Structure 1
Amino acid sequence: MDHWLTTIPPFAVYLLAGLVVGVESLGIPVPGEIVLVAAAVMSAKHELSISPHGIAIAAVLGAVIGDTIGYTVGRRYGEKLFEFLGRRFPKHVNDDVIAYAEHVFARYGIFAVFFGRFVALLRIFAGPLSGSLKMHYPRFLAANLAGAICWAGGTTYLVYYLGRAAETYLSRFSYVALAVAVVAGLVASTMLRRRMEQNVQRYADQRRAYEASEPQD
């Protein structure tokens, strides 16, 4: 396994991390966080010539560029974009999810852009929704860049240093420690996603109740 890993060009890992994070930021539900964590785990292996700095830079660039493209497309096409994504990814992009995301971004503005980077559901909507809501681009860019640096850079270096510590102090058990860390991260991410799904459902129920209470013409 280690021999196979050493044959992977570092540039290919940087490119893949940046590309997947960028595609996710466009509004397409791909596993950007999982790919980023996997790349950071690889950088922690001293046998590999993969730099955590390269991964962090690639992921930040992918996030900023992807969000900017998503912002531009959302500003120009708006509802047509969400209709297309809804047909392609109905589980992740539907009327309830879009309505909740619009509510969050309209209410919290640039703070939703920044903190949304840490939540998968909001991460894929940050660019397109900000554009659709006509958010001032310089403010969007500042929040987008800050969120990308904190999320992509923070995730990369956290996983990297945990991996190096595992190799230093746990020796041959480093893979077990890394697996435990990754599983713990996935569990936390799953719990956060379920909490977000509950928020979406609660908001959808409130919205339907309000619409039902409105007098009919």
Structure 2
Amino acid sequence: MELSTRRTAGAVKLLLIIHAVLLFAGLYAHLSTYRLYSEMPELYWHLPHPARDVQRFVVLAQMCSFFITAIFFLLWTYRSYRKLSALSDRNLRFSPGWAVGWYFVPIMNLFRPYQVMEEMWKESAPDADPSRIEEGKSRTGSPLLKGWWGLWLLSHLLAGVLGVRPMDPGESALFMFLTGIAGILLCLVTFLLVRAIDQRLAKKRALMERQIREKARAFP
């Protein structure tokens, strides 16, 4: 399980980098489309422009990248939460299945995934004493958690506006530009969060294995 979790975390980090690169590549196309439409809105649909074709291609690539990255991120969440359950004597608040399932439940997906990640952060502390039930509640979270969830909500809010509000090509390109910036920041924070939790889980496992070996030597 250890190797599987570490490999999944590595795959998620690589996919986040790829997705961020695609989002960055789209910024120029979105900005060029916005400028083109602003300068000549009446001729926009009649003039050939490479940025328009690049924009369509990049958006399609971003969608594919997003779904692949999301699948691996959810897989990492499931495996990491299951690993955390095995390393902790406390009863965790959620099951590994629901750690992933809350993302798909309307309304609940506005706060439950954050609570799942917050618990993963607190309980993965290497020096956490699993015999002390109240210890996990007193631990503080990380600014990465709030940054990650705030950017997640912001990026999805911007994407939702694009989906429900009629816009001209210029306004749409501007919103896509802003969504791209939020997405790049989200990729960065998610990369740091996944790396941090993965490292904490590895240290916690190593510490527990060392404690078991020391007890075995003390009581042969």
TM-score of the two chains, using structure 1 as the length reference = 0.34
Specify which structure has the bigger relative contact order, considering alpha-carbon pairs within 8 angstroms and separated by 6 or more residues.
2
